[in-house]
Amino acid sequence: MRFTDTIQGLNEVFGTDIPRGSVVLVTGAAGTLKSGFTFQLISGYLEKTNESGLYITLEQSRENHLNNMNSMGIAVSKKLHISDFSDYRVLYGDFPGDPLEILEKNILDFRQETGGSCTCLAIDSLGALYSLLDMEAKDLRKRIYRLLETFRREGLTTFIIFEDDRCSGINDPSTAGEGYLADGIIELGLHLKGNVANRYLRVRKMRAASHSMEPWILTVSENGLKVYKGSF
């Protein structure tokens, strides 16, 4: 089973699959389906394998996420464990000590508890994680990089959701400064042309994979998300 077979049309964007153990940044402005895309990608993959996964939400509750997925026709696999921020608040209060160490320990503990079957991880979102940390930007990015490098070495395919309103649109060639953290960047955006608005998907980079770098239309169908070629 390939990640790129989980969303209709995504296998046309990619010539090869997202490499296992990669760290992938899913970036875009609010309302561009970042959570839905990540949920469907991981859930669809897990349903066809003997593996399990972990989705950590640091902002919305588990119930809100599930309601949102249901509204878009996205099935969430029972093999995907969803852990919201309140889980950590109950266990650790207001994150006494180092939040990154606590996060890393719980992810690695979960992987061990599953006997190593946990191969997929999503963190929603990087911005929320930043808000928990009181340090200079330079030191912050170094710490995040070390955290993600741990996941790489564990062989966890990791998707990091990052809400970024700085991207000016489909014609903007720049990437967020956080791009250096990742092996891959999947940009989700909104393109306006006259009175028509289209959500789009574009793969900015994906190391060790072949893929299109053009924008593709991303839409919600009755059975979840769908990707197809269109004119902008």
Tens digit of each residue's pLDDT (9 = 90 or more) over 30-72: 999 999 999 999 999 999 999 999 999 988 889 999 999 999 9
Question: Is residue 211 a part of any domain in this protein?
Answer: no
Question: Is residue 12 a part of any domain in this protein?
Answer: no
Look at residue 60 in the predicted model and tell me its pLDDT.
85
pLDDT at 121 over 80: yes
What's 25's domain CATH number? 3.40.50.300
- Per the prediction, the chain carries an average pLDDT of 90
Look at residue 10 in the predicted model and tell me its pLDDT.
98
**Number of other CB atoms surrounding residue 91 within 10 Å:** 10
Q: Give pTM, 2 decimals.
A: 0.93
pLDDT at 76 over 90: yes
Those residues with Cβ within 8 angstroms of residue 157's Cβ, 6 or more apart along the chain or in another chain: 3, 18, 19, 20, 21, 22, 24, 119, 120, 121
In sequence order, which ranges of 26-153 are alpha helices (DSSP H)? Answer: 34-47, 62-71, 85-92, 99-113, 126-131, 137-153
Q: What's the domain count of the chain?
A: 1
pLDDT at 89 over 60: no
**Rounded Cα gap, residues 195 and 35, in angstroms:** 26
State which residues form the domain around 98.
20-196
Question: Is residue 221 a part of any domain in this protein?
Answer: no
Specify the long-range contacts of residues 173-177, CB closer than 8 Å, at least 24 apart.
175/27, 175/204, 175/205, 176/25, 176/27
Look at residue 26 in the predicted model and tell me its pLDDT.
97
Look at residue 137 in the predicted model and tell me its pLDDT.
80
**Rounded Cα gap, residues 97 and 230, in angstroms:** 49
pLDDT at 171 over 70: no
Query: From residue 99, how far is each of 8, 52, 60, 62, 104 by CA, in Å?
Result: 37, 24, 18, 20, 9
Structure tokens at 13: 């964007």
Q: How confident is the model at residue 122 (pLDDT cuts 50, 70, 90)?
A: very high
Question: Is residue 229 a part of any domain in this protein?
Answer: no
pLDDT at 92 over 60: no
Tens digit of each residue's pLDDT (9 = 90 or more) over 125-153: 998 888 888 888 888 888 999 999 999 99
Element (H, E) at 199: strand 196-206
Element (H, E) at 55: strand 52-57
Question: Is residue 87 a part of any domain in this protein?
Answer: yes
Look at residue 179 in the predicted model and tell me its pLDDT.
85
Burial class (CB in 10 A: 0-12, 13-18, 19+), 28: buried
Look at residue 223 in the predicted model and tell me its pLDDT.
92
Higher pLDDT, 77 or 172: 77
Question: Is residue 6 a part of any domain in this protein?
Answer: no
What are the φ/ψ torsions at residue 41 (nearest 5 degrees)?
A: -60, -50
Question: Is residue 204 a part of any domain in this protein?
Answer: no
C-alpha dihedral, 169 to 207 to 52 to 4, nearest 10°: 60
Those residues with Cβ within 8 angstroms of residue 228's Cβ, 6 or more apart along the chain or in another chain: 9, 12, 216, 217, 219
Question: Is residue 178 a part of any domain in this protein?
Answer: yes
Tens digit of each residue's pLDDT (9 = 90 or more) over 16-41: 999 999 999 999 999 999 999 999 99
Look at residue 207 in the predicted model and tell me its pLDDT.
96
